[in-house]
Amino acid sequence: MPFINKTWTLNDAPTASQFNTHIRDNFDALKNLPHQLRRLSRSPNLTTSSLTPVVVDSIVFVVTVTPTITSGTCSIDVWGNFNLRCSNSATAQVVKFRIDVDGAPTTLGSVANFAIEGNNTVVFPVNFYYRITGLSASAHIINLAWWTTGNTATIFTDPADARHAEGQFGAKESS
């Protein structure tokens, strides 16, 4: 049930039905906001050597959230975690990540939301949390884009790979 707004006035005495609708049901709506979560379990591991932003994966790194609001704007929280190797060689490189909503970047052009630098000797545990504000009252498709400054970066999604961690990518309405 969506959140129902009620303006109370001085000396209002809610009936049992009003209490259930405007108190109990609204708390339930707040506890059960729309969300979607993807487990990052896919073979083979994901790789890129792209120098410009590309969608990480069209299956596990894409979620859809339909807000409960019917007008105005809302916020959506996006989070994820996974293991990343920045390069397939001893040469260090930067791997950049950007969160896109409905095919558009949440930053200006190819500016990253976050970046990690490393070479082939370290596998980084990556954890991120990002709030997107001012979204309309309609369904939104959220995905993660990535690119490198050279060589090949790898996100370990293959459960058979020892470097795989049970990662996730998700989004939830936050207001």
Distance CA 69, CA 66 (A): 9
| Cβ 43 vs Cβ 157: under 8 Å | yes
Residue 125 is predicted with a pLDDT of: 94
Check whether domain 36-173 has CATH 2.40.50.140, yes or no: no
pLDDT tens for each residue of 77-99 = 999 999 999 998 888 999 999 99
For the chain, give every domain's residue range: 36-173
**pLDDT band for position 3 (cuts 50, 70, 90):** low
Where do we find the tokens 């980084």?
A: 124
Distance CA 14, CA 134 (A): 33
pLDDT more than 70, % of the chain: 88
| Cβ 99 vs Cβ 55: under 8 Å | no
pLDDT tens for each residue of 100-150 = 999 999 998 779 999 999 989 999 999 999 999 999 988 999 999 999 998
| Cβ 18 vs Cβ 108: under 8 Å | no
- Work out the angle at residue 120's Cα, subtended by the Cα atoms of residues 111 and 154, and round it to the nearest 5 degrees: 55
| Cβ 22 vs Cβ 4: under 8 Å | yes
pTM of the model: 0.80
pLDDT tens for each residue of 5-64 = 667 788 877 778 777 776 766 666 555 556 678 888 888 999 999 999 999 998 888 898
For the chain, the farthest-separated pair of C-alpha atoms sits apart, in whole angstroms, at: 72
